[in-house]
Structure 1
């Protein structure tokens, strides 16, 4: 080997050795800085640990194995948030941005197999307080943040403490931006894309009811939830023993629920939620109420008032219910299990379910269903959320109905048995939060009422005869004749919306049939 070649070879070898030593040195320096940051620069109320840290400055990667974080209150040291993961990988750190543009720019952050546990009842410091105390010297840009197969649990005080739990949640957020100004907002970061999938979700809705969800997915503003169940965790008998005042027992299932174009945020510190469409496929609901429990005498607002008085802006353009079923059961008498009314093949279109639309825009509800076994019913219901009188208009057309079908409800609850046939019924209820006026047209024939004895089975002949003296047997001898009448009703504000609808119809029926 001649002398020039030797010189070049030795020079390249020396440069390579120097580069390797420099790279190792830089890795050591960066590793020490990361370790010192974790050790010294994080707030004192955040405990942290990890098994191993490795740094590769060549591709800007930092890896932490088995990182763990515990957050405690500043005031009393109570631990309330626990985070652990199999690995945390930060890759694609831009040193150019860090050194020359005062920005932390990261290509990707990946958290594998993390577990989040949050004990709400232990928290004394608020997020807003922590944000205000934190000063960000550099803005942060993250191209993609991945969380793979996480389990998240939120707990509250008490034996039945699980408030929210989800399994195998994976999500990705793209183009995250944080700076000092953004960090002071209610939502302390901005992003462009969000995607998530999960195996299951559990939510404790209240002290009596739970919500469970099967597989679900989220892609930006489009959400799909499958196999939803909203249910009372106690049996009907157990619930009645626990209650001081009446409330419903629920058993509701929905095959799938989809939400389109969901957007949320804050405008002038007021939270808003906007949705283009909600679709419920095959909802099946069984609702039971034990009327032997004491009445709940609190004031029940109409739906328009409930929407109007929400403490945030809600805008839902449309809601669709497809192929639903509803069974409502009441227990009124101690000696039996109660009576029920049912709807099936229920389809509904609801528009402008919102408190942001202004007059003359109205919330409009259109429902088509089959009542009891084979009676078609069409409903058109609308109200103006901004109307402080809570005025509404409820129109319905009811098809042919054998009165005997109603005995499933009237016999166990009212100890009354009905006979006869109703060909068609039309009614319009014009109401508000105080009263209602109902116009009703009905064609019926061979109508009889049997008042039953205390056992609810045998006919009380005397009372039945007296009642039928006052009840009109037919609307008229002519097949096409309708009897018409107008009734007025005063709302009992301690009762539900549906009680007002019922007493309104009842007031008109009394004028026509008695």
Structure 2
């Protein structure tokens, strides 16, 4: 029995092996006898994991680690966690992890104990610019760039039960997240069916239970670009605050409460928006309900989205927008209402540069200039394009409401259907 082991300034390098690890030779033989120690302490260490070309996969520095009441023997090393311990305290400086071909993950610091995790200045960084990334794709794919000032789980319990991983936390906090999601429409469509969030959680193969996730003071932006000759359509949500309850997988649970997402933000940096989104993970139909309200939106702000995607520009004061969407994995129905003043419409040709004066004139002749200080209501019904994303589904629901309340049928007839690419001329 060794009471305490202290290692000063270790430089640990883990190389990729030419041959696969052999459990009998690499793990069992060194620990045929029982090993006990009161504590293991590492001070100011460094760690690197290298690939076969000695490029870093994972590295960190200024490591301080203390693990108490360690026990290893030939039986314990066969378990998912190959040693037993009472508790641990880990602190390290800057972390780098090459997560995939396209992304790396960095953080300025990491602190973890057996019951908590805290990360500062987290970044998910693309390895390529937008044009190079797009050229490398065989099918459409989003490009993510995500930062967070801090990620904190004040209490977390994790481990294995019968070889099944569990992660349970009463609360997780993400502070000052800045996320940009970009998609270029030039690569061919990805024809695979996309999962709604309820199905994605239902299909997780480990026991996840986060009672509450809070996102504070954040900024979310989505950009979609038909091709590099045209500007990207952009939709943004600033001062983004979200409170999400009951993020559960289905593993090892008899009952699961409804997942409820509540969001408050500024749409396009100016217009107050509130949304409540709820669904049930066990529901195989993936039914959901979204209720939202948007106030004080100027039409010019909406043009950043409507021009690149719909070739429509508006100049108006949109006082109030309200919507309720009830959907599932196949379709959605609901209601849409809008109150607006001084509506003017400009319809552009397919290139997005030249105004279609004839259709614009018809539009402004037929469309009502305002809603007479009342909410103009309509019912919406949309079939889901299952090879498109969740947000494409929601956008098409809102687009249908906008078409029916703001634009005459003569104008909407020339608009491209949301989510479908325009065919190129021969």
TM-score, normalising length from structure 2?
0.88
Q: CA deviation at 1:359?
A: 4.2
Q: Are the aligned partners of 1:327 and 1:341 in contact in 2 as well (CA < 8 Å)?
A: yes
**Aligned with 2:40 (options 145, 150, 164):** 145
Q: Are the aligned partners of 1:333 and 1:412 in contact in 2 as well (CA < 8 Å)?
A: no
**Aligned with 1:341 (options 235, 244, 250):** 235
Taking the aligned partners of 1:233 and 1:192, their CA distance within structure 2 comes to: 40
The residue aligned with 1:330 is 224
Q: Deviations over 1:241-291 (max 9, x none)?
A: 211212222222211111121222111111111222211111112222211
Q: Secondary structure at the match of 2:32?
A: coil
| Higher-RCO chain (CA-CA 8 Å, sequence separation at least 6) | 2
**Aligned with 1:373 (options 263, 266, 269):** 269
1:192-203 aligned at under 5 Å gives the runs 192-203=86-97
Q: Secondary structure at the match of 1:400?
A: strand
1:108-507 aligned at under 5 Å gives the runs 108-120=4-16, 122-127=18-23, 131=27, 136-137=32-33, 139-156=34-51, 161-356=55-250, 358-359=254-255, 361-453=257-349, 456-468=352-364, 471-475=367-371, 477=372, 479=373, 481-507=374-400
> Does 2:9 align with 1:106?
no
- RMSD in angstroms over aligned alpha carbons? 2.3
Moved more, 353-362 or 371-380: 353-362
1:24-35 aligned at under 5 Å gives the runs none
Q: Secondary structure at the match of 1:316?
A: strand
Q: Secondary structure at the match of 1:393?
A: strand
Q: Secondary structure at the match of 2:195?
A: coil
> Hey, which of these two has a bigger chunk of helix by percent?
1
Structure 2: which 5+ runs fail to align? Answer: 409-426
Q: Are the aligned partners of 1:201 and 1:213 in contact in 2 as well (CA < 8 Å)?
A: yes
Structure 1: which 5+ runs fail to align? Answer: 1-104
Q: CA deviation at 1:213?
A: 0.4
Q: Secondary structure at the match of 1:122?
A: coil
Taking the aligned partners of 1:259 and 1:281, their CA distance within structure 2 comes to: 12
Q: Are the aligned partners of 1:379 and 1:396 in contact in 2 as well (CA < 8 Å)?
A: yes
The residue aligned with 2:416 is none
Q: Are the aligned partners of 2:165 and 2:206 in contact in 1 as well (CA < 8 Å)?
A: yes
TM-score, normalising length from structure 1?
0.74
Q: CA deviation at 1:501?
A: 0.8
Q: Number of paired residues?
A: 405
Q: CA deviation at 1:401?
A: 0.7
Q: Secondary structure at the match of 1:399?
A: strand
Q: Whose radius of gyration is greater, 1 or 2?
A: 1
The residue aligned with 1:58 is none
Q: Are the aligned partners of 1:253 and 1:284 in contact in 2 as well (CA < 8 Å)?
A: yes
Going from structure 1 to structure 2, the CA distance change for 1:358 and 1:389 (only over 3 Å counts) comes to farther
Q: Are the aligned partners of 1:201 and 1:212 in contact in 2 as well (CA < 8 Å)?
A: yes
Q: Deviations over 1:13-55 (max 9, x none)?
A: xxxxxxxxxxxxxxxxxxxxxxxxxxxxxxxxxxxxxxxxxxx
Q: Are the aligned partners of 1:359 and 1:384 in contact in 2 as well (CA < 8 Å)?
A: no
Q: Secondary structure at the match of 1:389?
A: coil
